[in-house]
Chains A and B, each alone.
Chain A
Amino acid sequence: MNILRKKSTANLPFSETVIELFIRLCGFSCIIFVFGIFFFVFREGAGFLFNGLDIGQFLTSPEWYPTSLNNKRYGTFALILGTFSVTALAMCMAVPFGLGAAIFVSEFCSPKLRETFKIVIELLAAIPSVVWGFIGLTLMNQLIIQVFNAPIGLTMLNGSIMLALMSVPIIVSIAEDALKAVPDSYREAAEALGATRWQVVYRVLLPAAKNGLLAAVLLGAARSIGETMAVLMATGHSVNIPSGPLSWIRTLTATIAAELGEVARGDEHYQVLFIIGILLFTITFVVNLIADLVIKGIRQE
């Protein structure tokens, strides 16, 4: 294998060597960028993280008073809960809806309708998140006030509806790809065994495509966790331990976005915002790791 490879590089014409070098550079630069970003975020927060910050309090206290004059407190518990609860609620809506839509588009609809659907889904994916935030702030706000008779509609529910609408296109397109990748011979074989179309879906296609479907769900969730603008505008943006879908909340991302412009570079508050960045990094890293492990587990099975 190695010998073959060396031999083939030696025989490559010059232009191909250049192209190969360029592609290698692109690949390595990805890694460099990721580490570079992590390094930058870490450096900005490191001073206070190792010297002064009470990490226990940072993770478990709901008291977020970064600007208090005599008693600054940096507890992100409410923010963490805010991020997770709004994402969880969003996924409760987006996963069934997104997977259902993907199954419909890939298995049950006519080719013509499928094209229309794909265009609509791409359009939906292209809407900037600030527009979703705006819709949450106006339309959905009114709707929630009227439907639930709530005093204010800028709530976790509002934010998660916006997040669901934003992650559905991701879930649909990745899940649809996964279903389309299942060989037609599986469908034919199952149909020849007298399976109904629905039996083909849940007995054959879903098991065959489960890795891709799981990836779709996780990427949808990752999109939700990282989303900033829409949740900033739609959830009320107030530090609060949520007690239900109609509580207002604040998320980790929205806190960084809203406060980073207000702080002096290098002071404690500034550094804490970067530590929140490290926390977000860690969360997404753990989500990805879990995804990898789950997928590996499925493969071995």
Chain B
Amino acid sequence: MGNKIEISGLEVHYGGKPALNRVSFDVHENEILGIIGPAQSGKTTLLKVINRTLEFVPEATLNGTVKLDGVDISTVSDVYGLRRRIGMVLPLPVGLPLSIYDNVAFAPRAAGIRSKSQLDELVERCLQQAALWDEVEDRLDTLGTKLSGGQQQRLTIARALSHEPEVLCLDEFSIAIDPVTTMRIEEVLKTLRKEMTILLVTNLVQQAKRLATRTAFFLNGDLIEIDSTDVIFSDTPTQQATYDYVNGTFG
């Protein structure tokens, strides 16, 4: 299995304060990589590095390299195209203040797709994939912000899929939604991993255990340990801190 992403010596500082310390690891193609760790440990920062939205934080500085399919992403000149190769789902569901249809069609339109029939087909496919189509097919032109939290989160997943990403990043997607929707989305992720690589940042260690092929444990900007999920959740991970965190005896 090849490497989809290769991260080496990645360091991020916000105004001089470290957020990631010389982190190196690879993400395999078509795996679900679970990323766990307490708040403030640099998980969100890592995702922002990967889709280069860290560039919107003026005080952030970055060292090290991130390669996507072997190409250093900092050398990619079409940064907007690069961002569309990566789907991003944020912790709080953000339905843009547009119709459901326009939410999903946003990225394809930004990429220049105009054909109505092409967009129709794409919107339906993405909403199907995100397990939302049945609930909204008869009201695609209502505001996305009118949906319930769980529906909005599935809408953002449909939106993240709309530009056919190679990598899907989810940042604590279940933090504001109910357990039933969480389970539905987890099922969706299991199917999606056949088509793409998934980075699953999660606040629920059990979620990583359920879904991830491998799991990485971050703490205060350090990558403490990355290994197959079985090992991380066994009684004998390499690091004591991992064991403590996973078993809830941390801190």
Contact = CB atoms under 8 A, between A and B. Distances in A.
A67 B79 CA distance: 72
A100 to B, nearest CB: 21
Contacts of A195: 80, 106-107, 110
Given A193-B106, A196-B110, A186 B159 contact: no
Nearest to B80: A194
A280 interface: no
A119 interface: no
A20 interface: no
A183 B106 CA distance: 18
A185 interface: yes
Interface in A170-209: 183, 185-196, 199, 203-204, 207-208
B97 A193 contact: no
Given A186-B96, A196-B80, A203 B56 contact: no
Contacts of A199: 110
Interface in B108-143: 109-111
Nearest to B102: A203
Contact of A186 (B80, B97, B162, B163): B97
B88 A204 contact: no
Nearest to B85: A194
Contact of B83 (A183, A186, A194): A194
Contact of B94 (A186, A194, A196): A186
Given A199-B110, A203-B110, A192 B88 contact: yes
B81 interface: yes
B23 interface: no
Contact of A192 (B51, B81, B111): B51
Nearest to B111: A194
Contact of A203 (B92, B106, B111, B162): B106
A191 B90 CA distance: 12
Interface residues of B, number: 26
Given A194-B107, A194-B110, A195-B106, A204 B96 contact: yes
Contacts of B88: 192-193
A203 B160 CA distance: 17
Contacts of B160: 192-193
A293 to B, nearest CB: 20
Contact of B90 (A192, A203, A204): A192
Given A186-B94, A207-B97, A192 B53 contact: yes
A191 B97 CA distance: 15
Contacts, number: 66
Contact of B92 (A185, A187, A193, A208): A185
A178 to B, nearest CB: 13
A235 B90 CA distance: 56
Chain A interface size, as a band, is 10 to 19
A193 B94 contact: no
B96 A189 contact: yes
Nearest to A185: B94
A189 B156 contact: yes
Contacts of A189: 90, 94, 96, 156, 159
Contacts of A203: 98, 106, 109-110
A200 to B, nearest CB: 9
Contact of A194 (B92, B96, B98, B163): B163
B154 interface: no
Contacts of B109: 203
Contacts of B214: none
A188 to B, nearest CB: 7
Contact of A190 (B84, B96, B163): B96
Nearest to A191: B53
Contacts of B94: 183, 185-186, 188-189
A193 B56 contact: no
Nearest to B51: A192
A190 B102 CA distance: 12
Interface string A215-250: 000000000000000000000000000000000000
13 contacts: A188-B94, A189-B94, A190-B96, A192-B53, A192-B83, A193-B110, A193-B159, A194-B80, A194-B82, A194-B110, A195-B110, A203-B98, A204-B96
Interface of B: 51, 53, 56, 80-84, 86, 88, 90, 92, 94, 96-98, 106-107, 109-111, 156, 159-160, 162-163
Given A185-B92, A192-B51, A193-B88, 17 more contacts: A186-B96, A187-B56, A188-B53, A193-B83, A193-B106, A193-B160, A193-B162, A193-B163, A194-B82, A194-B83, A194-B111, A194-B163, A195-B110, A196-B80, A203-B109, A204-B96, A207-B98
